[in-house]
């Protein structure tokens, strides 16, 4: 029995009409309808149940609406409704049809990522959005696989279910979804409440799931449990949790026959990614929230990883090892790394479609982390194919030619990839070698 029928009209608190078009779906806390608001088709979420404090929740929602969305990737509440029958709701944008829930990608039977690179781009977008959220002072508190909607063709991410987003250390009574909650929340038995640190643990879980196709805490220990009672759940996801690839303790390693995918993926992960995960899920990080990787740390390793994935002529994706020639495991051809871009912390392979982002040069502001600097493209010049770097900064870029001359590269101008050319960006020098 839904509260509203098609044709019903509600009002928002600023006096606008909200007309019900049809019922869409039922969620954990409420129902979602398609509505018409200010002449556009939107979605309305109407609550059926509330957490601990309805009034507090209402005020928080009101605040969030007036503060506006922290980033374009968030599906944020736009207007609050008046109270009817002791309940209320809010209006937000409709989720476009091409977007699929993250959980559909994990089952891998419905939708798939078109390539591994695409999966990493999704990780980058998710991490970046959260960095912005946290730095605006919010914490999500309910990060899980149901919050993310991904367009498999473009790689765009929409973050939904922002109902419980609240200023850090303020809580609406929701503690999260099982399997995605930080260990201290699970073992805290409702006494420890979520905050940005616990968000970070949930973020790490989501990144691991996207990249390795398995939950980071679900290995042999988890497999042997026939029935996941709360007691067992606490053992697996609480303070006693153990990473499946923990350096010191292999007792929760994946069971080959029943979990074959994760071993394959893990084998191909570069060391710095493995280290990042090992650190995020180390016993230390499980017990001490401050030891967890911050969003910037993730952005750094993910952008590096993205640039190290190139496409072989046979169609297979190759993970370049150490910016040097790597063999394709599928067809056996060697991928020649002809040019590298020497960055302050490591060297980047210059392949077709490589991107260089702001965060790869060192620390920066959250909003600038994924600002593009350079992008490699192939063009035809004088009848032959030339690899060039395009200035994506949107402003002039200082470069030094092979003969030592200084040149200013205009926005969108192309620089041929030749050994010896240097760029000076944000006081850092990067060189083509």
Interface ranges with another protein (CB under 8 A): 220, 223-229, 255-258, 260, 313-315, 331, 352, 377-382, 385-386, 388, 401-402, 407, 414-416, 418, 421
CB nearer to another protein: pick between 82 and 402: 402
Read off the tokens for 344. Answer: 């302050």
Smallest gap, in angstroms, from Cβ of residue 42 to another protein?
A: 28
44 vs 31: CA distance, rounded Å:
8
- 309 closest CA partner among 301, 298, 300, 320: 320
Phi, psi dihedrals of residue 46, rounded to the nearest 5°: -120, 125
Smallest gap, in angstroms, from Cβ of residue 387 to another protein?
A: 11
- 247 closest CA partner among 198, 204, 222, 281: 281
CB nearer to another protein: pick between 97 and 385: 385
Smallest gap, in angstroms, from Cβ of residue 49 to another protein?
A: 16
CB nearer to another protein: pick between 15 and 332: 332
Smallest gap, in angstroms, from Cβ of residue 305 to another protein?
A: 23
Q: Can you say whether the dihedral through the CA atoms of 238, 240, 243, 244 is positive or negative?
A: negative
CB nearer to another protein: pick between 223 and 287: 223
Smallest gap, in angstroms, from Cβ of residue 352 to another protein?
A: 8
CB nearer to another protein: pick between 181 and 421: 421
CB nearer to another protein: pick between 28 and 362: 28
Smallest gap, in angstroms, from Cβ of residue 145 to another protein?
A: 13
Smallest gap, in angstroms, from Cβ of residue 315 to another protein?
A: 5
Smallest gap, in angstroms, from Cβ of residue 349 to another protein?
A: 17
CB nearer to another protein: pick between 315 and 411: 315
Smallest gap, in angstroms, from Cβ of residue 236 to another protein?
A: 11
CB nearer to another protein: pick between 228 and 269: 228
- 431 closest CA partner among 302, 339, 326, 360: 339
Q: How many CA atoms lie within 13 A of 35 on its CB side?
A: 28
CB nearer to another protein: pick between 292 and 340: 340
CB nearer to another protein: pick between 234 and 297: 234
HEC string of the chain? CCCCCCCCEEEECCCCEEEEEEEEEECCCEEEEEEEECCEEEEEEEECCCCCCHHHHHHHHHHHHHHCCCCCCECCCCEEECCECCECEEEECCCCCCCEEHHHHHHCCCCCCCCHHHHHHHHHHHHHHHHHHHHCCEECCCCCCCCEEECCCCCCEEECCHHHCEECCCCCCCCCCCCCCCHHHHHHCCCCCCCHHHHHHHHHHHHHHHHHCCCCCCCHHHHHCCCCCHHHHHHHHCCCCCCCCCCCCCCCCCCCCCCHHHHHHHHHCCHHHHHHHHHHCCHHHHHCHHHCCCHHHHHHHHHHHHHCEEECCCCCEEECECCECEECCCCCCEECCCCEEECCCCEEECCCCCEEEHHHHCCCCHHHCCCEEEEEEEEEECCEEEEEEEECCCCCEEEECCCCCEEEECCCCEEECCCCCEEEECCEEEEEC
Residues 6+ positions from 66 with CB-CB distance below 8 Å: none
Smallest gap, in angstroms, from Cβ of residue 229 to another protein?
A: 5
CB nearer to another protein: pick between 370 and 389: 389
Smallest gap, in angstroms, from Cβ of residue 67 to another protein?
A: 34
């Amino acid at each position: 029995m839904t509260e509203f029928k098609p044709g019903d009209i509600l009002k928002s608190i600023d006096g606008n009409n909200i007309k019900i078009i049809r019922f869409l779906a039922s969620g954990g806390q409420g129902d979602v309808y398609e509505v018409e608001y200010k002449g556009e088709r939107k979605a309305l979420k109407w609550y059926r149940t509330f957490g601990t404090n309805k009034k507090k929740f209402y005020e928080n929602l009101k605040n969030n609406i007036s503060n506006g969305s922290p980033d374009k990737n968030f599906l944020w509440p736009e207007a609050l409704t008046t109270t009817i029958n002791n309940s209320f709701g809010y209006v937000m944008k409709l989720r476009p049809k091409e977007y699929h829930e993250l959980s559909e990608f994990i089952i891998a039977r419905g939708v798939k990522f078109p390539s591994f690179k695409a999966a990493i781009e999704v990780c980058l977008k998710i991490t970046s959005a959260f960095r912005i959220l946290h730095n605006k002072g919010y914490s999500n508190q309910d990060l899980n696989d149901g919050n993310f909607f991904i367009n498999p063709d473009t790689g765009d991410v929409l973050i939904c279910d922002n109902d419980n987003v609240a200023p850090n250390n303020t809580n609406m009574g929701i503690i999260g979804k099982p399997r995605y909650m930080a260990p201290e929340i699970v073992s805290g038995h409702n006494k420890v409440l979520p905050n940005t640190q616990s968000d970070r643990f949930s973020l790490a879980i989501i990144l691991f799931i996207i990249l390795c196709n398995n939950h980071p805490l679900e290995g042999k220990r988890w497999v042997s449990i026939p029935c996941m009672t709360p007691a067992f759940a606490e053992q697996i996801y609480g303070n006693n949790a153990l990473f499946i690839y923990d350096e010191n303790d292999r007792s929760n390693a994946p069971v080959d026959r029943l979990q074959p995918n994760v071993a394959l993926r893990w084998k191909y992960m570069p060391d710095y990614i493995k280290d990042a995960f090992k650190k995020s899920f180390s016993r230390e990080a499980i017990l001490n929230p401050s030891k967890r990787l911050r969003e910037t740390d993730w952005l750094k390793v993910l952008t590096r990883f993205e640039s190290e994935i190139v496409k072989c002529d046979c169609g297979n994706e190759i993970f370049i090892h150490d910016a040097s020639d790597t063999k394709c495991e599928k067809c056996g051809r060697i991928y020649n790394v002809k040019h590298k871009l020497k960055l302050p912390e490591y060297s980047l392979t210059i392949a077709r479609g490589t991107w260089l982002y702001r965060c790869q040069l060192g620390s920066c502001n959250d909003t600038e982390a994924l600002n593009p600097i350079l992008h490699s493209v192939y063009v035809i010049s004088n009848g032959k194919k030339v690899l060039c770097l395009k200035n994506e900064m949107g402003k002039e870029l200082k470069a030094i030619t092979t003969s030592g001359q200084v040149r200013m590269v205009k926005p969108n101008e192309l620089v041929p990839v030749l050994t010896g050319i240097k760029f000076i960006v944000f006081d850092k020098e990067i060189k083509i070698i």
